[in-house]
Structure 1
Amino acid sequence: MCHDIDSRPPAAPVVTGGVAAHGAWEIGAADGNRFRAYRAAPAVPNGSNVLLLPDVRGFHPFYASLAHRFAEAGFHTLVMDYYGRSAGTGSRDDAFDGFAHLALLEPHHVETDAAAAADAIRAWHPGPLFSVGFCLGGGYSWRLAASGLDLAGAVGFYGPPRFLGDRTAQPSAPLLMLLAGDDVATTPEQYATLTAAFDQAGKTYEAHVYDGAPHSFFDDSDDQWQEACTDAWHRILAFTARHSGEAGG
């Protein structure tokens, strides 16, 4: 997994206000699946929306807290879970085995649920929509840029390239890649192969490697990587501001 039970999401360096409203949600997908979600609304909106894609655990309190951090920065934010088909929509404790459910997860499941989540966000708050994901969610965030969701952009932290699969050459939205220099899950060579495929396909992306940083460095509980967390936030805020006019909502 990426973030342990003691992890804390770092606050954005620019906070526009508090969280106006937040709470659990349940969303139905086109294939009849129902999945857990969580949303947080900003007190001072910046006009854009964020779909948060968690790590292998699926929905977890870390990502509810992170939704608050994005709302504090002005984004209407929704976290989606991956495992409605195999784990249902009930509550889970820290003993939940995300890897067991990951074995049952297929790319079209994520795409179908993300489409329903995107519709729910836009019905809640029209505006440009960005995906932001971590590890498993980072790879799927980039994949969703090629899945017809009309994203304004897709941000991924240390996402394994294998989750792009047959979509590697297809992204139609710009990508932001925030990578760990000392990632135990993905080698630099694998990321180089991925970006070379983007280059060959003429896709728009930005990639930044945090030298020496471990997988899951985006964590306020680790003082060593505070500077990297702040820089990553600045890059997200600049990326979303720059591309907020490029897709509809």
Structure 2
Amino acid sequence: MCYDDNARPPVPPVEGGSAHGEDIVLTAADGNRFAAYVAYPDKPLGAQVVIYPDVRGLHQFYKELALRFAETGIQAIAIDYFGRTAGLTSRDDSFEFWPHVQQLQLASFFSDVKAAQDYLHTSQGGKQPTFAVGFCMGGTLSLLSGTQDLGYAGLVGFYAGLSRNFGGNGTALERAGEIKYPVLGLFGGADQGIPADQVEALEQKLEETGVEHEIITYPGAPHSFFDRRSTEFADASTDAWNRILRFIAAHSAK
């Protein structure tokens, strides 16, 4: 599990504005109803993010992360993965997520992503450059989203697992050559689940295909270092926030 119920996202290192958010329910093209949380900036800057959570789905960490993005002026929506198999139930620490992770299908996930994008593009912010921001399993799904025609302006992946194969469709590392959007990858150097040679192979594949990318590894940082409680990695979290905001600003301008 990536984050427990007590985890909280670090505060962005910029002077923020006010924002407000709400729980909503979205409907995908196949009729699936799934939970999401949307956060609106009071002073929008003209960019949007779709947040892909970790294996637990939509829990409090990601709702607060959506608000932190909105406080920087970026409209955000965080989505749940398990509407088809777990309905609209809570995703707190008691949620037995693994049976639902095992049933996750990429095609249905991308259908849910499209519903979230459509919501953003028809909301008060209108259609703006949109980015995927994922964590752990969500980081993997962020990279895999880059192989689809989802119209993203860029992809951000925290500690993206590179060897997980969803439904026999290939791992993120195997499919890295198909990624068509700019990538910002953020990894912990002490993350036991993501070997350094896999991160290096990802960077090499993106180099070979010419996709714009920035792959950053923070020495000594573990999986899930991006947490307000991890004060010893506060500098890494601050740097990660700065890189994300620069990445979004640069590719929104394009």
Deviation (angstroms), 1:245:
3.1
In the alignment, does 2:240 pair up with 1:241? no
Paired with 1:134 and 1:225, the residues of 2 have a C-alpha distance of: 17
* Same amino acid, percent of matched pairs: 42
Structure 2 counterpart of 1:94: 93
Deviation (angstroms), 1:18:
1.1
Structure 1 counterpart of 2:30: 31
Under a length normalisation based on structure 2, what TM-score does the superposition of the two structures give? 0.92
Deviation (angstroms), 1:146:
2.2
Q: Report if the CA contact (8 A) 2:227-2:237 is conserved.
A: yes
Per-residue CA deviation, residues 168-193 of structure 1 (Å, 9 max, x unaligned), is 21222100001110112211111122
In the alignment, does 2:172 pair up with 1:171? no
Under a length normalisation based on structure 1, what TM-score does the superposition of the two structures give? 0.94
Structure 2 counterpart of 1:54: 53
CA gap of 1:12–1:241, structure 2 versus 1, over 3 A, is: same
Deviation (angstroms), 1:199:
2.0
Paired with 2:161 and 2:213, the residues of 1 have a C-alpha distance of: 16
Moved over 4 A (4+): none
Deviation (angstroms), 1:165:
6.3
In the alignment, does 2:64 pair up with 1:65? yes
Q: Report if the CA contact (8 A) 1:152-1:245 is conserved.
A: no
Alignment of 1:96-111 (within 5 A): 96-111=95-110
Deviation (angstroms), 1:89:
1.4
Letter in 2 for 1:118: Q
Unaligned stretches of 5+ in structure 1?
none
Structure 2 counterpart of 1:14: 14
Structure 2 counterpart of 1:127: 128
Question: Secondary structure of the equivalent of 2:92?
Answer: coil
Question: Secondary structure of the equivalent of 2:245?
Answer: helix
Which of 218, 222, 234 lines up with 1:226 in the alignment?
234
Counting matched residue pairs gives 245
Structure 1 counterpart of 2:166: none
Structure 1 counterpart of 2:222: 214
Question: Secondary structure of the equivalent of 2:220?
Answer: strand
Question: Secondary structure of the equivalent of 1:15?
Answer: coil
Deviation (angstroms), 1:109:
2.1
CA gap of 1:165–1:104, structure 2 versus 1, over 3 A, is: farther
Paired with 1:215 and 1:93, the residues of 2 have a C-alpha distance of: 20
Paired with 2:151 and 2:26, the residues of 1 have a C-alpha distance of: 19
Unaligned stretches of 5+ in structure 2?
164-170
Paired with 2:72 and 2:147, the residues of 1 have a C-alpha distance of: 26
Deviation (angstroms), 1:91:
2.8
Question: Secondary structure of the equivalent of 2:149?
Answer: coil
RMSD, aligned α-carbons: 1.4
